[in-house]
Amino acid sequence: MHEVKWTAAATKTYLELKAKSAARRAARKKKKTTKSSKAEGMFKQVAKTIKLLSNNPRHPSLKTHEYDSIENPFDKKKKVFEAYAQNKTPGAYRVFWYYGPDKKQITIIAITPHP
């Protein structure tokens, strides 16, 4: 199990997705609609990705792989990885992270939609 650390940018994005999901859920419950909104589903998928990364960064559903287009902002020698929160979806969300700074830790650098 890995402890999850966050950059300020990743924390901001995660909290924005969470707030949007909560607002949509509240509006849905007020209207007594049962179908989850896109925002709720997206947050649920991102949260699940973070949980899976914590438990096993190489979990098959994450499709984790090295990502060369982003340099590690804290240690140029450490590799940055990309994990899929969504797949086969326009603008699918990705989570960028690296191992560290200490053993049994991973740091979430960014949570972004795929271009």
The CATH number covering residue 45 comes to 3.30.2310.20
Torsion angle (degrees, nearest 10) of CA 16, 21, 26, 28? 140
What tens digit of pLDDT does each residue of 46-78 get? 999 999 999 999 999 999 999 988 888 878 888
Mean pLDDT of 89-115: 89
In the block, tokens 């271009």 appear at 115
pTM: 0.88
Tokens matching residue 81:
């990885």
Which domain, by its residues, includes 66? Answer: 3-113
Q: Does a cis peptide bond (omega within 30 degrees of 0) precede residue 90?
A: no
**Please, which pLDDT band fits residue 96 given cuts at 50, 70 and 90?**
very high
The tokens for 89 are 């979806």
Number of domains present in the structure of the chain? 1
**Which tokens belong to 16?**
């924005």
